[in-house]
A and B are shown apart, each in its own frame.
Chain A
Amino acid sequence: MLKHVAPSLPLAMFIVLVSSTVVGLLGGVIAIRAKGVYFALISFGLAQVVSKVVFNTRELGASDGLIGVPAPVWLGLDTAHAPSFFLLVLLGMAALLAFLLWLMNTPFGRQLDAIRTNEHRLPFLGFDPWRYKLAVFVLAAQVAALSGALYPMLRGFVSPELMFFQVSGNAVINVIVGGTGTLVGALYGSALLTVLKSVVGSFTAHHAIVIGALFVVSVIFFPKGLVGYLAPALQRWRSKRA
């Protein structure tokens, strides 16, 4: 899609936003019927379905991927140029983070926190959790789509492997290792695992084993993730020094 409308970055991003909203609504209505592990399984299942569809559709690149995605230029930032692409990603991420931090401090965002804590009480306070869950599912789809849309800009190529389970699995591992229920957790998790991948990757091609082990260890010993473990520890250390 980006291929045809580029190089207008804002227009491409707008189309990404609209299409991810539609997909998020469809997927959300199906997935939020389930909870916990079942919700995760259904979400992954839906991703697999989409992956198979793309893999078998010539127009979407099938097993070859999409080649020759033009790099858009926006406000003098040429995305094919690595430093300016980095700047663009950084700006985009900062804007998203700022938006989400703001959102979590509105009554809407707080309802999401309340759903995580005790979904069963909310209907008795006059709120239907279903609407909030659908809204946040769509929001998550939009965030993922915007991030994903940045991907081909640097190399001009969309690999079909991006549709594989590893990519969505990695995203989940990033969040869990970083710390669920926080916004910065996902950033720390991604940063840690990306660095780890390139460090371990320089010794062995089997870096997935190390990542997997780290995932298992963090689920068992740090169920609240890096942030959930480090933030209280840091606070204790600070109050001891004060």
Chain B
Amino acid sequence: MNGDTILNVRGLTVRFGTLVAVSDVSFDAQRGHITSVIGPNGAGKSSLFNLISGAIRPSAGQVLFEGRDMTGQRPDKMLAAGLARSFQITNLFFELPVRENLRLAAQFVENGRGLFRGIAASRVALARVDELIERFALQTRADELAGFLSHGEQRRLEIAVALAARPRLLLLDEPTQGMSHADTQDTEALIRSLAAEGLSLLLVEHDVELVMNLSDHVVVMHQGAKLAEGPPLQVRADPAVQAAYFGDAREASHA
């Protein structure tokens, strides 16, 4: 299945009043690949993510997932189609235990069965929860409230929750946001292993080194528009990209 396009973004545009947050952005993401969107703050990366995941409706343009037109569909429809996302600002059920966060997220794999039976009847979902707890090394924290986890653990749980419904395309919004160096390395390894299993990934990341190491394809945004796209090395060598982005980012990553 590798090699075909899983996501086509065509001329995607969103206006908030007079502000054009995303302006005529087009790119494709290939199945089984890691595609990344980078750009300075305010470049429109988060809005682009919100458009693709159904959180906001585009003013113009199209989103095609696996060839199906999903433009303007609500997030629950996107997830049902096989597209899941994580959030830059951790967006969990903080007052509920870690296990319950995962159980809620995994309940989708039951296909609506067992909605009015005891929790124990949702065997597929519960098996998925156990799998995720082990994979994300949350065994000792499983019965803790999500709000009591450390920042790094919450970021890990954020990805686990997004992954629970077994999506085919996973959108990760700044997965290493605020993480320690060690946690960032773990996350990098995790993303690699997910891609190795055939999952397609779309990343928004601030950490340019991480993006360059991980990605098969990089889309650079600047002031709401697409500035460049291509393989990491090609994008990095692009003079326009260097002028708009890498100058500032180098300074930032040394800070």
Q: Which residue of B lies closest to A129 (CB)?
A: B76
Given A106-B117, A107-B125, A126-B80, 4 other A-B residues pairs in contact with their CB atoms under 8 A: A111-B107, A121-B161, A125-B105, A126-B76
Q: Which residues of A contact B95 (CB under 8 A)?
A: 117
Interface size class of A (residues with CB under 8 A): 20 to 34
Q: Are B107 and A107 in contact, CB atoms less than 8 angstroms apart?
A: yes
Binds A, one of B39-47, B85-93, B177-185, B212-220: B85-93
B103, CB-defined interface residue at 8 Å: yes
Residues of B near any A CB (own CB < 8 A): 53-55, 74-76, 79-80, 84-85, 87, 91-96, 100, 103-105, 107-108, 110, 114-119, 122, 125, 161-162, 164-165
The answer to whether the Cβ of A113 comes within 8 Å of any Cβ in the partner chain is yes
In the assembly, what is the distance between CA of A40 and CA of B74, in Å?
Answer: 26
Q: Can you identify 25 A-B contacts, CB atoms within 8 angstroms? A: A103-B116, A105-B118, A105-B119, A106-B114, A106-B116, A106-B118, A107-B107, A107-B115, A107-B122, A108-B115, A110-B100, A111-B104, A114-B96, A114-B104, A117-B96, A120-B91, A123-B74, A123-B79, A124-B53, A125-B76, A125-B165, A126-B79, A126-B80, A127-B108, A128-B74
Q: B161 contacts which of A106, A108, A113, A125 (Cβ < 8 Å)?
A: A125
Say which residue of B108, B117, B118 sits within 8 Å of A125 (CB atoms). Answer: B108
Interface residues in A76-119 by Cβ distance below 8 A to B read: 103, 105-108, 110-111, 113-114, 117-118
Residues in chain B near residue A117, CB distance under 8 A? 93-96
Known contacts A120-B91, A124-B84, A128-B74; is A110 also within 8 Å of B116 by CB? Answer: no
**B96 and A113 contact, CB distance less than 8 A:** yes
Residue of B nearest to A132 (CB): B115
Closest 9 CB pairs between A and B? A123-B75, A126-B108, A126-B79, A117-B93, A123-B76, A125-B105, A117-B95, A108-B115, A124-B75
Contacts of B115 in A (CB 8 A): 106-108
**Whole-angstrom distance between the Cβ of B87 and the nearest chain A Cβ:** 8
A105–B125 CA distance with the chains assembled, in angstroms: 15
| Interchain pairs with CB closer than 8 A, number | 79
Q: Which residues of chain A come closer than 8 Å to B94, judged between CB atoms?
A: 117-118
Nearest-neighbour CB distance to chain A for B211, whole angstroms, equals 23
Pairwise interchain contact B79-A124, C-beta atoms closer than 8 A: yes
Q: How far is the CB of A128 from chain B (nearest CB, A)?
A: 5
By beta carbon, the residue of chain A nearest B96 is A117
A132 CB to nearest chain B CB (Å): 10
Given contacts A106-B115, A126-B76, contact A121 B165 (CB under 8 A): no
Residue among B75, B87, B119 with most chain A CB within 10 A: B75
Taken together as a complex, chains A and B put the C-alpha atoms of A124 and B77 apart, in Å, by 9
Residues of A within 8 A of B161 (CB): 121, 125
Chain A residue with Cβ nearest B85 = A124
> Nearest chain B CB to A166's CB is how many angstroms away?
32
**A68–B55 alpha-carbon span in the complex (Å):** 56
Whether B76 pairs with A106 at a CB distance below 8 angstroms is no
* Residue in contact with B116 in the complex, picked from A108, A120, A127, CB distance below 8 Å: A108
A118 to B90, CA, bound (A): 11
Alpha-carbon separation in the docked complex, A93 to B95 (Å): 29
Given contacts A125-B165, A128-B74, contact A118 B119 (CB under 8 A): no
A103 to B76, CA, bound (A): 23
Instruction: Kindly name the residue among A107, A113, A121, A123 whose own CB sees the greatest number of chain B CB atoms within 10 A.
Output: A107
Q: Which residue of A lies closest to B114 (CB)?
A: A107
For the complex, give the distance between the alpha carbons of A123 and B91 in Å.
12
A113 to B75, CA, bound (A): 20
| Nearest CB in chain A: distance from B16 CB, A | 19
Q: Is B103 a contact partner of A110 (Cβ separation < 8 A)? A: yes
Cα distance A118–B108 when bound, in Å?
17
- Cα–Cα, bound, A110→B95 (Å): 12
In the bound complex, how far is the Cα of B108 from the Cα of A153, in angstroms? 45
